[in-house]
Amino acid sequence: MWIAFRVVALILLAATAPRWWHSLRGLPHALIHRHWSAIFDRVLGLVLVLFLAMQVVPFGWRHSNPPVVAEPAWDSPQTRELFVRACADCHSNETKWLWFTNIAPGSWLVANDVYGGRNEMNVSEWVTNNSQNAKRAREAGEVVRDGSMPPLQFLLIHPEARLTDAEKADLAKGLEASLAK
Ligand code: HEC
């Protein structure tokens, strides 16, 4: 379905190309003479064209959720639940790709966060007894307590990921216990 959206964007872009090219060339003239309505029309056209062009860039199209290989030995179901609520979209292979993750530039930002997050720490491909795990566990506790994870842009869109102070304390403690192994 989203591929159809991108094809339509490409067709609209191609079909209107002569028109927006013409309109863009009129922009300097409109600016010099302060023709506000002409400036407004042209800037609006430019924004639309950029929006269409962004949909055709292939980055962020693929929404991969590779298989879950192994999870950490969670110290309690509650720790896992809190992690799923606040962290799993970017630190597991079970990302919920919401509809807007198909529309650029949102799709670019989300793909960047998800692939960056998985790369940093992925609870779906957990390696027990990894020498890094103790450090990982400490860091995870820290970022939950100091509020740097989940990132602000995620909280704006996912109110359910906002944790109370008590939940933060529980999650931090749970992660320290679960990820160290
Ligand atoms: C919107 C995606 C996203 C969410 C949600 C998210 N993270 Fe991250 N996380 C990232 C990205 C991207 C990085 C790597 C770059 C960075 O540090 O900002 C990262 C880095 C980390 C690191 C490495 C330490 C560091 O500061 O670089 C830890 C630990 C971590 N996250 C834990 C968590 C925990 C615990 C949660 C849930 C409370 C969480 N993250 C939620 C995207 C996310």
Q: Residue 1 has what pLDDT? A: 83
Verify whether ligand 1 is closer than 6 Å to residue 150 (CB atom).
yes
Q: From the CA of 93, how far away is ligand 1's center (Å)?
A: 14
Q: Which atom of ligand 1 is nearest to the CA of 112?
A: 12
Question: Taking residues 12-24, what's their average pLDDT?
Answer: 91
7 pLDDT higher than 90: yes
Q: Work out the mean pLDDT of the chain and round it to a whole number.
A: 96
Residue 23 near residue 2, CB atoms below 8 Å: no
90-146 residue pLDDT tens: 999 999 999 999 999 999 999 999 999 999 999 999 999 999 999 999 999 999 999
Instruction: Tell me which residue of 100, 108, 103, 80 sits closest to 92, measured CA to CA.
Output: 80
Residue 149 CA, ligand 1 centroid: distance in Å = 5
Q: How many CB atoms lie within 10 A of CB 161?
A: 19
Taking only the tens place, the pLDDT of each residue in 74-93 is 999 999 999 999 999 999 99
**Residue 20 confidence (pLDDT):** 87
104: left (phi over 0), alpha (psi -120 to 50) or beta: beta
The pLDDT value recorded for residue 145 is: 97
